[in-house]
Amino acid sequence: MIPFYSDPLPALSTPQMIEVDRAMIEDYQISLAQMMENAGRNLAHLARERFLDGDPRGQKVAVLAGPGGNGGGALACARRLHNYGASVSIFTTRPAEAFAPVPGQQLTILQRMGVSVALAPAVNETKADLVIDGVIGYSLRGAPRGAAADLIRWANRQRAPILALDIPSGLDANVGAVYDPAIRATATMTLALPKVGLLVETAAPHVGELYLADISVPPVLFASPALQLEVGPVFARSDIVRIR
């Protein structure tokens, strides 16, 4: 059972989230790969508990992944769901050689495991019990286009629930602007702290249930001069908490 967290929490703007990522890597030597693994593990756990009846075996999961960090977290989730016995299919917005190095490593692992990986157009032949959205993260700049837009539109046409990682693709993390197209998530699992855009009222139909997951950010990092945020032991009871 995932607990509710009802205490007040600060929300991060996009520049603040960029600073968190920088400080994690440069100041605390917590690598992007470590953060990605933490995100993927928690996303897989949430998918299993909330959407796959506690047992993913035989259930069909479509994982939609872009070439950046958001896609890498979704791919780390895909690996775990495959290991749990789910029938996982991965659809990417770009070919493997266009992925950033760390997400590309996640993709290579899955390919070596024999997990189905295809480019976005192949998604039209797919049926799913759950869709994982890892197309675009907080780096969104304007309305999604091309393969990213195609995957978002496909996901929104499905009857299956959609679980978005960090922020629904097509939603601006900084101000909550909803672009066309934008994922209409059943639930969103955001990371470290809520993003400002997730809490805007007009974004609520796209965010769905809102969960917060631990990626091991030290509270002292939030208290740094660059951020000046007071954050307590949010994850004392669970690595994932529901905040809305």
Q: Which residue has the tokens 């899955």?
A: 110
Please report, as a single letter, which amino acid is at residue 19: E
pLDDT in tens, the chain (244 residues): 899 999 999 999 999 999 999 999 999 999 999 999 999 999 999 999 999 999 999 999 999 999 999 999 999 999 999 999 999 999 999 999 999 999 999 999 999 999 999 999 999 999 999 999 999 998 888 999 999 999 999 999 999 999 999 999 999 999 999 999 999 999 999 999 999 999 999 999 999 999 999 999 999 999 999 999 999 999 999 999 999 9
Domains defined along the chain, listed by start:
31-214 (3.40.50.10260)
pLDDT at 38: 98
Nearest 10 degrees: Cα torsion 144, 154, 40, 72: -50
Give the span between the Cα atoms of 182 and 194, in whole angstroms: 18
Tell me: cis bond preceding 181? Omega within 30 of 0 counts.
Answer: yes
pTM here is 0.97
Phi and psi angles of residue 204, each rounded to the nearest 5 degrees, phi first: -55, -40
Strands (E), the chain: 60-65, 87-92, 116-119, 130-134, 162-165, 187-191, 209-213, 240-242
Q: What pLDDT shows up at residue 141?
A: 85
- Whole-number Å distance between alpha carbons of 110 and 155: 22
